[in-house]
Amino acid sequence: MATMHNPYTPEHEQFRQTVRQFVERELTPHALEWDRAGIFPREVFRKCGELGLFGINHDPKYGGSGLDYWYVTAFTEELVRSQNAGVNMALLVQGQMATPIINEIGTDEQKREFLQPALMGEKIAALGVSEPGAGSDVANLKTTARRVGDEYVIDGSKMWITNGTRADFITLAVRTGEAGYEGISLVTFPTDVKGYQVSKKLDKIGNLSSDTAILYFEDCKIPVRYLLGEENQGFYHIMTNFQGERLTAAIIAVAGMEHMVQEAIRYGTEREAFGRPIIKFQVWRHKFAEHLTAIEAAKRLTYHAVSLFDAKENAVKEISMAKLFAGDLAQRVAYDCQQMFGGMGYIEETHMARAWRDVRLLTIGGGTSEVMKEIISKLSGL
C-alpha cells in the first residue's frame, strides 16, 4: 500500500519494472551512438507507443491508460537510466507536454486525428510555444493566425522546438487576437500543410540526440476546427500545460541527481589515489553527504507537488518551487559528480561528462529559474 513515505503501490512498482526493462534494453545501449548521431530512430516512438508509455494518464478511449500521476512519475524516474537526456526529453514532449492539452480540451475529431496516433507512437508530436522574440515572455508571441472564412492563415516562426525536424503535428500557440496574453489561441497543426518549413536544426551543447528546430510558417492554412478550446483562451491553457512540463522536469532532475551521485560514489570507491579510495577522503564524503541530504529534500518537495497535482489541486507554487530547487541543485550536484571522475569526467564516453552538459537545460527549458522565482514571488504576495 502507498504511504506518505512511499507513494508507490505494488502495481506502480510492477509498471516501473516494465519501464526499466524497456529502457535498459532498448535505450541505454545506444546512449552515446544517438548523441553522436544528433538523432535517434523514429522506431523508438513506435515501441514506446506499443508499451503504452505515452498514454499513461490519458483517456483510454483514445489509446491512453487513464492511470494516476504516480505512474507518470515512475516512468519519468526510470527514463534517466537511458543515460541520454535527449531521448528522455523527446519522449516526455510526446506524452507529457504536447499531448495533455489535446487530451484535456480537444474535440473528439482532434483526439482521433492527433492524440490517438501520438499515443500509439505513430505520429510524432511537438509543442510550439517559444519564438525567436518570446521565450519567457509567452504573452508577447507574434505568430499570427488570421481567420479567413472557415480557415486560419498562419504566419510566423517558432524557435527551439523539440522533435521539431520530424514532428507530424504541433500543438501550436498562435496570436488570434490583440497584443498581450488575451489574444493567444492554441491549435493542432499538421506539418504537411503548404507553407510550413523546418528552417534549421539547431546545434546544441547538450541533449544532443533530440532534434531542436526553428520552424517557419508562411500563409499556412488550417481549418478552424483545429482550434483547441476557445479562441483567445490559449494563454490560460499554456500556463496549465506548463505545470505538467515543469513537474516532469523536477522529477527527472531528482532522479538524474540520484543516478549521478550513485555513479560518482561507485567511481570514488573503485578509484584510488594516495593509497586509498577517493571517496574515503573526508572532503568527498562530506560533499556527498550534503548532496544526498539536499537531493532528499528536493525529492520530498517534488513528491509533495506530485501528490497535489495528482489530486487535481492547485499546485502552481509547489511545482515552480520543485523545478527551481531541483533544477538549480542539479547544477551543483553534476559539477561535483563530474569532478569526482577527474580526467574521465571530461571524456565524452563517460556518461557523467554528458550528464554534466545535459543538466544545464534544467534551469532554462520549460521556464527558467528566474521565471520560477517570479511565479513563486507573486503567489507569495511579494
The verdict on 21 binding ligand FAD (CB under 6 A) reads no
The verdict on 95 binding ligand FAD (CB under 6 A) reads no
In whole angstroms, how close is the CB of 222 to ligand FAD at the nearest point? 18
| Residue from the set 130, 185, 302, 320 that interacts with ligand FAD by CB under 6 A | 130
The verdict on 136 binding ligand FAD (CB under 6 A) reads yes
The verdict on 207 binding ligand FAD (CB under 6 A) reads yes
Closest CB to ligand FAD among residues 108, 137: 137
Which residue is it, cell 569526467?
Answer: 345
The verdict on 306 binding ligand FAD (CB under 6 A) reads no
Neighbours of 8 (CB within 10 A): 18
> Per-residue b/e over 174-209, b at no fewer than 16 CB within 10 Å?
bbbeeeebebbbbbbbbbeeeebebeeeeebebbbb
- The single residue of 78, 113, 245, 318 carrying the catalytic annotation is 245
The verdict on 364 binding ligand FAD (CB under 6 A) reads yes
User: Which 38-67 positions form the footprint of ligand FAD (CB under 6 A)?
Assistant: none
The verdict on 124 binding ligand FAD (CB under 6 A) reads no
Q: Is 11 a catalytic residue?
A: no
Neighbours of 378 (CB within 10 A): 12
Closest CB to ligand FAD among residues 109, 370: 370
| Window of 74-82, 139-147, 275-283, 360-368 that interacts with ligand FAD by CB under 6 A | 360-368
Which runs of consecutive H residues, i.e. helices, occur in the chain?
10-22, 31-37, 43-50, 69-79, 85-92, 100-105, 108-110, 116-119, 234-270, 282-310, 316-340, 351-358, 369-379
DSSP designation for 28: G
- Cβ-contact 66, 59 below 8 angstroms: yes
User: Which 138-167 positions form the footprint of ligand FAD (CB under 6 A)?
Assistant: 160-162
| Window of 21-29, 41-49, 115-123, 129-137 that interacts with ligand FAD by CB under 6 A | 129-137
The verdict on 361 binding ligand FAD (CB under 6 A) reads yes
The verdict on 191 binding ligand FAD (CB under 6 A) reads no
In whole angstroms, how close is the CB of 278 to ligand FAD at the nearest point? 33
The beta-carbon contacts of 334-341 under 8 Å, at least 24 apart in sequence, are 334/257, 334/260, 334/359, 336/264, 336/287, 336/288, 336/291, 337/260, 337/261, 337/263, 337/264, 340/264, 340/267, 340/268, 340/278, 340/284, 341/264, 341/267
Binding site for ligand FAD (CB under 6 A): 93, 127-130, 135-137, 160-162, 204, 207, 212, 361, 364-368, 370-371, 374
Would you please indicate which residues are annotated as catalytic (active-site) residues?
245
